[in-house]
Amino acid sequence: MSARTGNDPAMWSRLIGQETAVRILRDAVASGAPGHAYLFVGPQGVGRELAAMALAASLNCPDGGCGVCDVCARVLRRAHPDVYTIAPEGAQILVDQVRTVRENAYLSPYEGRVKVFLFEDAHRLNPAASNALLKVLEEPPGDVVFVLVTESPEDLLPTVVSRCRRVDFFPLGPAEIERVLVTQHDAEPSLASWAARTGGDLSTALRFVKDPGAPERRRAHLDIPGRLVRSGPSESVRIAAELAEEAAAAVSALTKRQKDELARHLEAFGDARATGAARKRVEDRHKREARRTETEVYDSALRDVASFYRDVLLAGAGVPDDALVNTEMAERLRRAAAVADPAWLVGALERIEDTRRALARNVQAVLALEAIFMELGTPRARAGAR
């Protein structure tokens, strides 16, 4: 990507399909008074965090967000000392996290002009944390911008919401996802097309493209319903164990990358003032990433399994093959549809959703997986089938 002029900062051009949000934010920056608090509302994986990073870069980069300089690069890597990410510890953002934010907010920036505090999943601010944040929002320091990212603004304290400027982000269609993958991530076009259709959102599709093992693992996940029916309840224990192994491998690959990042980070922070706090921030983020990576493995397996049952349901309703997600196995899906009870399929999809939600709340993953697979192992037949 080449450097652009100040009129077309490259950081903003990374956002695809969010023209309104980009216009609002760029106008705000251009006005010289960008405002102190934003609420970025929209589903996961559509560029909300990237927009926050573009905003942070455009406020701190000497060229207004060129996308190529050291400042922009570090903002994008979340390794800039004036850009803070606050994410839930477990299920909630805690008041201690907001207290740390408040302390940092009143310090001058380490090296940039404006400190940016990005709150991921801001609807998970617990009541005490919300009230602590509200106090800062009521009297924000001049060189600070807060960005609260959420998919459910109704779960935030209304007084917090009313202090923020709302910016809406919209879901990307498969064609937009495909375009992002090809133009920004050099994805091979047929892989991008497959990932865009099956991933559902940009971050998932991107993972599929970046990770050469992903298609193979997806095939294995799609095999789970068949294995359960063929081999009975003991198979659910085996499958849960396999997924736990898959998660452990993903976390260990991540840990390796994190070690490299920490080494780079310590090198970047020669300044004694920054080292301790910055190192702790990186390490905290790494812990959260590890937890998230593990959950994400289970979640993607369950989504794949759900896509199988959804396709069976659709196939049973007579939709054409190209309306299915897993077109490559249409034949198998139609065979399953001939015998499966649609009401059982709907129930199965609901139970998978429940399990995904439970896993996001840090329940005992392996036990939850064994339980759901046990249930899926005894499908009910359609009336008159067999």
Q: Pick the closer one to Zn ion by CB: 59 or 329.
A: 59
| Closest to 119 measured CA to CA, from 97, 148, 158, 145 | 148
Residue in 25, 37, 52, 61 binding Zn ion, rule: CB under 5 A: 61
Q: Which part of the chain contacts Zn ion (CB under 5 A), choosing from 55-63, 149-157, 327-335, 345-353?
A: 55-63
The beta-strand segments (E) located in 301-385 are none
Which is it for strands 37-41 and 144-150: parallel, antiparallel or unpaired?
parallel
| Closest to 371 measured CA to CA, from 246, 257, 237 | 237
Q: Pick the closer one to Zn ion by CB: 55 or 345.
A: 55
Do 129 and 97 contact (CB within 8 A), yes or no?
Answer: yes
Residue in 24, 69, 277, 339 binding Zn ion, rule: CB under 5 A: 69
Q: Which part of the chain contacts Zn ion (CB under 5 A), choosing from 53-61, 124-132, 252-260, 285-293?
A: 53-61
CA distance 336 to 372: 19
DSSP 16-83: -S-HHHHHHHHHHHHTT---SEEEEES-TTSSHHHHHHHHHHHHHSTTSS-SSSHHHHHHHTT--TTE
Q: What are phi and psi of 301, to 5 degrees?
A: -65, -45
CB of 113 to Zn ion, least distance (A): 12
Q: Pick the closer one to Zn ion by CB: 72 or 161.
A: 72
CB of 13 to Zn ion, least distance (A): 13
* Residue with the two structure tokens 């133009």: 183
Number of residues interacting with Zn ion: please give it, by CB under 5 A. 4
Q: Pick the closer one to Zn ion by CB: 54 or 192.
A: 54
Q: Pick the closer one to Zn ion by CB: 61 or 196.
A: 61
Do 148 and 37 contact (CB within 8 A), yes or no?
Answer: yes
CB of 54 to Zn ion, least distance (A): 11
Q: Does 72 bind Zn ion (CB under 5 A)?
A: yes
Q: Which part of the chain contacts Zn ion (CB under 5 A), choosing from 61-69, 255-263, 311-319, 332-340?
A: 61-69
Q: Pick the closer one to Zn ion by CB: 42 or 112.
A: 112
Which residues contribute to the site for Zn ion (CB under 5 A)? 61, 66, 69, 72
